[in-house]
Amino acid sequence: MSTKISITCTPGESLLEAIREKGSFIPSPCGGKGICGKCKVDVEGLGVLRACGFYPDHDVVVNVPEPSVMQILTESFWPDPEPARDVFSSEDPRFLGLAVDLGTTTVVVFLDDLRSHRNIGIRSFPNPQHAYGADVVSRIQFCRENREGTIRLNKEIVSAIEQAAAGLCAQNGFVPGLAGRMVVTGNPTMLHLFKGVNPESLAVYPFTPVFLEEQNLSGAEIGFSDFSATGIEMVPSVSSYIGADIVAGLATVSLNPPTGWSLFLDIGTNGEMVLWNGSEILACATAAGPAFEGARISCGMAGIEGAVCAIGPDGYETIGGKPAIGLCGSGLVDAVARLLDAGKIDDMGYLAENEELISAVRLFLTPQDIREVQLAKGAIAAGIKVLMLEAGIVAEEVRQVFIAGGFGYALHDWSAGRIGLIPGGLEKRQIRAGNTSGLGARLWLHSGEFRDYTRELAGRIRYVELSDHPEFNDLFMWEMTFESSI
């Protein structure tokens, strides 16, 4: 299915930019740099073209594909013991609360009743900023290169969140004015853009954020119309790349005091890792690249219907059971593991030629695809090992590995271990934690005890800067190979 739209371009403006300004969405994981090749559209009279590289000098009619349904994770590991919940004041008529997990790729909005502490409804959607780049670096670059870049990305996300929140209220028979509070978690770049703050300093050494501390504003200050009187609370971050999403997620999985060392991972376009025991908390972050989100992979795609999500010895599975149209992150990891087992990829990552995976739909992996996987998995595995070095422990001392997020939820133990994404036998100790960022936002909404615990936890995290660590580069080079996974 596609939608036919008429485009009037101004001189020097690409078709991709014109489509964005029209309010339509087409994938552009590389942010319009001409790298990914995923922004192809059918231009009437001209055929299929890359929108980012076409600069029309006259009006054109474009057939824009309808967005596919994305599988977005909303469920989460529930903590035990649960924190005590607030007693809601009967004098306050604004008994609704909103919790927002503002991710780089996806957004989840929860509508909760603060009196009964129950969830009323959930809405999830792809982050509309994805049209400007798949990862935070691409979006920061967009802000640097465009005078109105920060304003545009801010309006995109504020409008999308308000629309989802208002829709939830209307669906359940409430007016927006009944929402007294909204809690937002996300990485520092997403929080800067949500607040309308230029995030450029996050990408330039010494990577200094404009703010990390907890934020408390009104909806009007954020730019909301329907929720102008709603109090907006943003959970604190720790560093430029350990954000509120990690702080909130760690708080949910660490409520039950550990009996030894535990590891918390959130793997996406960035990889965030936290290693802790009862007294020490170490954290680091690394730019894994968007390979596990399906970007920069020749047949890669997000977790939408028809994406291959599992490859076994007897066949493959797709999201929604639809015909296969590409590979999402978990399917990509399975595919690389199978090719390693078959001897098609050697220990150094060498693949002689494009390797067909599913002939009926022409799904294949290229040598460059393998390189992208090596870069991503090498960065994650090296970051984990740096934290263990800093703690003075070996992998056998890590009792449990909590993996948060949609990619981690779908990841298979055997293939994660086979490619060395999760090193040293740790793949056998994985716990699928789910959407811990969203759960953390909800617990912050309902529990003063949890808010206090999360603030205290954030203050105890020791951040390890990988770019300055003397062991990281050597570990990264080693973990890029597949020898480390044998």
Q: Which residue ranges in the chain fall short of pLDDT 50?
A: 486
Burial of 361 (0-12, 13-18, 19+ CB in 10 A): middle
Return the pLDDT at 32: 67
Return the pLDDT at 33: 64
What's the CA angle centered on 273, arms 374 and 285, to 5 degrees? 70
Return the pLDDT at 270: 82
β-sheet bridge partners, residue 43: 47, 62
Return the pLDDT at 64: 75
Q: What is the per-residue pLDDT across 318-349, written as a single tens digit (0 to 9) for each?
A: 999 999 999 999 999 999 999 999 999 999 99
Q: Do residues 244 and 191 make contact, with C-beta atoms less than 8 angstroms apart?
A: yes
Distance, in Å, from the CA atom of 357 to the CA atom of 351, rounded to the nearest integer, reads 13
Distance, in Å, from the CA atom of 486 to the CA atom of 335, rounded to the nearest integer, reads 17
Return the pLDDT at 352: 93
Q: Which domains does the chain have, with CATH numbers?
A: 2-65 (3.10.20.740), 96-247 (3.30.420.480)
Return the pLDDT at 100: 98
Return the pLDDT at 259: 78
Return the pLDDT at 160: 97
